[in-house]
Amino acid sequence: MEVYKFGGASVKDAQNIRQLAEIVKQAPRPLVIVVSAMGKTTNALEKIIDAYFFHNKDFSQQLQKIKNYHSEIAQELFPDSHSVFNYLERLFLRLENELSRPPSMNYDFDYDRIIVFGELISTTIISQYLNLQGQNNLWIDAREIIKTDNNHREGNVDWQLTETLIRKQLDFSNTDLYVTQGFIASDRNNQSISLGREGSDFSAAIIASALSADKLTVWKDVDGIYSADPKRFSQAQKINNLSYRETIELAFYGAKVIHPKTLKPLKDKNIPLYVKSFVNPQQPGTVIHSFAEDLSPKVPVIIVKDSQILISLAMRDASFITEKEIEKIFAIINRHKSKNNVMQRSALSFSFCTDYDHAHTPAMIEELKNHFTVKYNTDLTLYTIRHYTREVIEKITAGKEILLHQQSRHNVYFVVKETTEVPQTSL
Ligand code: ASP
Ligand code: MG
């Protein structure tokens, strides 16, 4: 059996959903398809959650926009009297219901119980549309098959329970096609839990692994993995084969190709991962598998991560930063669920660069201030160049203010302040 994953871009409008149905029609059976929220719905829901949680602001217009967006897509795909409109109405009522409860004290908990609607709505439309096309399928609530701890916004999977549930529920006894959501799961108390932004790839890998799939295909709006973002770098090269290891390295530093957690479950079961274009499905795309070790690129790979903050800590009395202090720093970083991308230590200071998260970073800084003198710069960009050459480093760093620079045998990292609008760089 195989698993297909369709990201937000590949279900962003009626035309793409028709294309999805075409791809699914050609696909082998049995098949599980895992689908993200449509287009930028998750971003839009995040804005609503912020308005709801932090600002007590009116979000009815934003909510209406999300409703209209999905209704218009459904109107293009279904006849007027189709039952999908009832299902959508019910889902929107449930979403409104969640938003009419007073916020809890826990942002991440509230985030999860609201964010899941993006995927619940998209898969309802997709499942019904496939049925309408004669591709009979069963819709599965992913929260009933993927179980995590209660670490909201980045649940840690309970592998054993999850595997048992997936095998039991997706046994293909009544169908050869299941449709389910990426990104969403639940804890043992059946509270909604999300798996981290862009986590649908990971969901697909969890399912592929539990069912020992022959392969997982991730359908995207690009035709594979590139050595750099083709939109930012004119000479980005397509990579045909990658090893799991190499892909994990790329994903960890923010290559937008695949969620970093996706690879491990696949690697453990030796399941190849295909990254393919849903516009040109006949193109081979990129294949990630265990035999690719020698084929992995030695071309420089450039990964850009925006919205970084560089935080520098020093002792108030200008004494050394000892291991004891570093232990304290890491405990605080961990408590605030911060992702530490690069770090550097000198005798008197400890600096680290992390993704800026408006719900957590300010509180982390406040806590650090209780112990250290804290300085920070925001709106930074982290460049990682893997398999770097001098020439590429010079091109990337030209005209940029470098705040932190670190180099290892395979990778070089630059935390920079972009001085101008990001121009297209030719490599
Ligand atoms: N819809 C979620 C997101 O945009 C999950 C995903 O797309 O993978 O982050
Ligand atoms: Mg997405």
37 in contact with ligand 1, CB cutoff 6 A: yes
Measured in angstroms, how far is the CA atom of residue 12 from the centroid of ligand 2?
A: 10
pLDDT at 424: 47
* Ligand 1 geometric centre to CA of 256 (Å): 12
pLDDT digits (tens, 9 = 90+) for 315-363: 999 899 999 999 999 999 999 999 889 999 998 999 999 999 999 999 9
For ligand 1, whether the C-beta of 39 sits within 6 Å is no
Work out the mean pLDDT of the chain and round it to a whole number. Answer: 93
* 198 Cβ inside 6 Å of ligand 1: yes
Q: How far is the CA of 198 from the centre of ligand 2 (A)?
A: 5
Q: What is the mean pLDDT of residues 372-398?
A: 94
Please write the tens of the pLDDT for every residue from 150-169: 999 999 999 999 999 999 99
Full DSSP string of 142-203: GGGT-BB-S-TTSPPB-HHHHHHHHHHH---SS-SEEEEESSEEE-TT--EEE--TTTHHHH
Mean pLDDT of 412-420: 86
Flag whether pLDDT at 206 surpasses 80. Answer: yes
* pLDDT above 60: residue 294: no
Strand, helix or coil at 303? strand
Pick the CATH number of 2-221 from 3.40.1160.10, 1.10.275.10, 3.40.50.300, 3.40.190.10: 3.40.1160.10
Cα(105) to centroid(ligand 2), Å: 27
Whether the CB of 183 sits within 6 Å of ligand 1: yes
Measured by CA distance, the residue closest to atom 5 of ligand 1 is 198
Whether 155 is in the pocket of ligand 1, judged by its Cβ within 6 Å, is: no
Contacts of 355 (CB under 8 A, 6+ apart): 305, 307, 308, 309, 338, 339, 341
SS3 content of the chain, % helix, strand, coil (to 5): 40, 25, 35
pTM (2 d.p.): 0.90
* Pocket lining: 197 vs ligand 1, CB cutoff 6 Å: yes
Question: Which ligand 1 atom lies nearest to the CA of residue 201?
Answer: 8
Per residue in 207-262, pLDDT (tens digit) is: 999 999 999 999 998 888 888 888 888 878 888 888 888 888 888 777 777 888 99
- The CATH number of the structural domain formed by 301-426 is 3.30.2130.10
E strand segments, 282-364: 286-288, 301-314, 340-345, 349-355
Ranges of each domain in the chain: 2-221, 301-426
Q: 265 in ligand 1 pocket by Cβ < 6 Å?
A: no
pLDDT band at 423 (very low <50, low <70, confident <90, very high): very low
